[in-house]
Structure 1
Amino acid sequence: MATIESYMLETPEKMNVIIEQASELFSEVKKAPVKRIILTGSGTSYHSGLQMSQQMQALLKMDVRAMYPFEISETTFLDDNEHTLVVGISQGGSSYSTYNAMKLAKEQGCMTASMAGAEGAFIDEVADYVLTVACGEELAGAKTKGFYCTKLNLLLLALSIGSESGQVSQEVFDQKVAEAKESAKHFKDVFEVSEKWIEANQDALKEIKDIRITGPASLYGDILESALKLLETMRCPVTGYEFEEFIHGIYNAINEQSTVFILDNGSEPRSEKMQEVLSGWSDTIYLFTNYESENANLVLPTVKNQDMLTFNFIIPLQLMCAKIPTLRGVDPSTPKDPQFHMKLGSKKFNK
């Protein structure tokens, strides 16, 4: 059976496949009269939309926002619905909440698109445009490969719409695609460096009881996703915060049992001071950077482009999800209750 780790290693190849197939995949939706985009999904799917929404908005010069399905109601669609594209994201494609949000949007006169990780998904039934994420099957409960591939699919959607409308020049289009390919090339190097660090620190990591993750706003979707993955697999309390939000009260809960991962891409000059202060309260305060620093616990050989860090920066946290739970007696690839969604009626079928 494939594991979280093996799915992660498939990511660079799948990213290149997605880039190669983008022209055909987005050939119809790029012609749609889109003036507003809403990205909706739960969990990992929501985080992918949240992480990419600002970059998509910057490229398209239009309102692009991520919303949970439960946030979407008739009052979401008060104006210009015929020019609003609602993209439903669901890795397994079977989420009732995402389906219902898309159905409501369609009833209100919006255009709808689906992004599922496999063809023939439940959410495709209510989609005007089926934009399947060609990441291949991912049976592990905690998704990793699908997260990267969905983010790339969203970027390529924006580039395709922008190119067709003239908002994105051919030069920018080609540059962004080249940068995405470059981030895929860096994936394995970041993976290997992360693997060595995790193995060297596994004795401390397996004793983790409480986790906080913080970092810059530009990685906020990734921070939330890292928290979800660690919570799913480590099965202990985990929360993620943007750096400024962490300062506003969260630090009060840090004690000798706390583990904090501080992600710094060089944009937050106070990261090392945060590490210093919190290290007075706990021995497990870790600073991850992509720049050389004598204070960093782990320096990641990521792609240099800031927009593309999303395809590299949280690899160590995801890899931790694959390696550490087994030392705690947990199979990280299998949900605590494989029938949970069936019992709750939250998915049409369970994968």
Structure 2
Amino acid sequence: MNKQTWDMYDYIVESKDAVRRMVDHKDEILKEATEYFFSGNINRIYLVGSGTSYHAGLASRSMMEKVLGIPVIAQYPMDFKDQEFLPDSNTLVIGISHAGRSTSTILALDKAKEKGYATIAASAEKNTPIMDHAERFLEISVGPEYAAPKTKGYIGTVATLVLLALNIGIKSKKITALEYENYVSDLLDTTDNIPAIAGKSVDWYNYNKEELLKSRRMIIVGYEQCKSALMEGTLKVLEAVRYSVTGYELEEFMHGVYHSIDQDTFMLYIGSEGQYYNRMINMRNYFEKERGNKNFVITSDKGLEKDPRNLIFDFKNHPYFASLEYVVPLQVLARKLSSDLGIDCNISSDPGFHKKMGSYTY
């Protein structure tokens, strides 16, 4: 695909092959970062990044903790930089920036180096400023992505961090060879679903298109492992449709936001399997019956398929990888809705914004 023919939707579907290529070349991609991890006595990891990079860190954190048996903290770069009390040593900071230019992530890596921490810069781009601010480089090997809202970047970053943890886990004997193979297989099974989810999402969007085009206020709700999917999905819709879209964790939403729901509010629920699913459906039913607003559920629960507003798909619902599935309908929604609103989301609303704000380092 050349730069003249790129489109956000193509990159969504391409995520499957990007992850498969990553798995095929994982030993080469992860070699430097893995060896570096073992050069010190690391007992804590910070994943720092903004936007999609932060969301990917959040999605990877639980899996990394499970495999490595050490605390893994996902944090915004400026929160890390300004944090007064940080551990003294034995800490690894992975600074994540898809374009390799995030000023805040660079500042966080500089703070980490001042503290004497181990540092790795993770990026999809080589020879960018972030590489000069970390001891080692970790490539997010997803290939080119020219669209303004990054989709492969999220899925590829999660896959990279998960594979790094698995590589360290098997070499340190914290997981068995069978566990390693099963996790890799589960990751591939999940991401292999992406093209089918995208196709189903297009059908769902087309059926509900006329109603969705009326939306000017949208709220996305999720929970547990899919909290990162709701945050990333909210960001993609915001970047693409360019009107008010907000995302909330289920309990956070219940603590006040519910007051603001009226008949013109469109609500999307990420209904992944989990202990809070029935609680979320109860809330959805409340708004359907008592507030009369527009409600859409993304779920694998076939009990809801009678309502065409709901997107029903046979999601894998893996406890650590579900966010890689549930983000896809929101990515597709962002692309299709923006297109029908006459917005070309492949092009930034202001290509010079980061230079004006100083948020990218050149």
Q: Same fold (TM over 0.5)?
A: yes
Whole-Å separation in 2 of the counterparts to 1:79 and 1:302: 39
Aligned-pair Cα RMSD in Å = 1.6
Question: What is the deviation of 1:303?
Answer: 2.1
Q: Determine the structure 2 residue equivalent to 1:279.
A: 288
Whole-Å separation in 1 of the counterparts to 2:316 and 2:128: 33
In 2 relative to 1, CA 193–75 (structure 1 residues): closer, same or farther, beyond 3 Å?
closer
Q: Structure 1 residue 213 and structure 2 residue 220: aligned?
A: yes
Residue 92 of structure 1 contacts residue 117 of structure 1 at CA under 8 Å; is this kept in 2?
yes
Find the residue that maps to 1:338 and give its secondary structure. Answer: coil
Q: Determine the structure 2 residue equivalent to 1:196.
A: 203
Find the residue that maps to 1:293 and give its secondary structure. Answer: helix
Whole-Å separation in 2 of the counterparts to 1:80 and 1:164: 26
Amino acid at match of 1:4: M
Equivalent residue pairs, number = 348
Per-residue displacement from partner, 1:146-170 (whole Å, max 9, x unpaired)?
A: 1000000010111112222221221
Find the residue that maps to 2:218 and give its secondary structure. Answer: strand
Question: What is the deviation of 1:305?
Answer: 2.4
Q: Determine the structure 2 residue equivalent to 1:47.
A: 55
Identity %: 30
Question: What is the deviation of 1:75?
Answer: 4.6
Whole-Å separation in 2 of the counterparts to 1:25 and 1:314: 25
Amino acid at match of 2:353: F
Residue 234 of structure 1 contacts residue 321 of structure 1 at CA under 8 Å; is this kept in 2?
yes
Question: What is the deviation of 1:331?
Answer: 1.1
Per-residue displacement from partner, 1:201-250 (whole Å, max 9, x unpaired)?
A: 11111121111111122111111111111111111111111111111111
Whole-Å separation in 1 of the counterparts to 2:86 and 2:92: 14
Q: Structure 1 residue 144 and structure 2 residue 157: aligned?
A: no
Q: Determine the structure 1 residue equivalent to 2:19.
A: 15
Amino acid at match of 2:44: R
Residue 36 of structure 1 contacts residue 84 of structure 1 at CA under 8 Å; is this kept in 2?
yes
Residue among 262, 272, 292 paired with 2:269:
262
Residue among 57, 65, 68 paired with 1:57:
65
Residue among 301, 304, 319 paired with 1:294:
304
Q: Determine the structure 2 residue equivalent to 1:96.
A: 103
Q: Determine the structure 1 residue equivalent to 2:139.
A: 132
Residue 273 of structure 2 contacts residue 317 of structure 2 at CA under 8 Å; is this kept in 1?
no
Residue among 321, 329, 341 paired with 1:308:
321
Residue 74 of structure 1 contacts residue 108 of structure 1 at CA under 8 Å; is this kept in 2?
no
Find the residue that maps to 2:25 and give its secondary structure. Answer: helix
User: Under a length normalisation based on structure 1, what TM-score does the superposition of the two structures give?
Assistant: 0.95
Q: Structure 1 residue 320 and structure 2 residue 333: aligned?
A: yes
Question: What is the deviation of 1:304?
Answer: 4.2
Find the residue that maps to 1:38 and give its secondary structure. Answer: strand
Question: What is the deviation of 1:9?
Answer: 1.5
Q: Determine the structure 1 residue equivalent to 2:32.
A: 28
Residue 213 of structure 1 contacts residue 261 of structure 1 at CA under 8 Å; is this kept in 2?
yes
Whole-Å separation in 1 of the counterparts to 2:216 and 2:65: 38
Whole-Å separation in 1 of the counterparts to 2:250 and 2:358: 36
Find the residue that maps to 1:256 and give its secondary structure. Answer: coil
Q: Determine the structure 2 residue equivalent to 1:340.
A: 353
Whole-Å separation in 2 of the counterparts to 1:342 and 1:28: 32
Whole-Å separation in 2 of the counterparts to 1:142 and 1:89: 16
Whole-Å separation in 2 of the counterparts to 1:67 and 1:205: 33
Residue among 342, 356, 359 paired with 1:329:
342
Q: Determine the structure 2 residue equivalent to 1:5.
A: 9
Find the residue that maps to 2:285 and give its secondary structure. Answer: helix
Amino acid at match of 2:321: M
**Structure 2: stretches of 5+ with no match in the other structure:** none
Whole-Å separation in 1 of the counterparts to 2:340 and 2:12: 20
Per-residue displacement from partner, 1:249-270 (whole Å, max 9, x unpaired)?
A: 1111111111100111122212
Find the residue that maps to 2:167 and give its secondary structure. Answer: helix
Amino acid at match of 2:343: V
Residue 16 of structure 1 contacts residue 181 of structure 1 at CA under 8 Å; is this kept in 2?
yes
Find the residue that maps to 1:313 and give its secondary structure. Answer: helix
Residue among 176, 190, 193 paired with 2:183:
176
In 2 relative to 1, CA 78–194 (structure 1 residues): closer, same or farther, beyond 3 Å?
closer
**Structure 1: stretches of 5+ with no match in the other structure:** none
In 2 relative to 1, CA 69–153 (structure 1 residues): closer, same or farther, beyond 3 Å?
same
Question: What is the deviation of 1:301?
Answer: 2.5
Amino acid at match of 1:120: N
Whole-Å separation in 1 of the counterparts to 2:260 and 2:39: 49
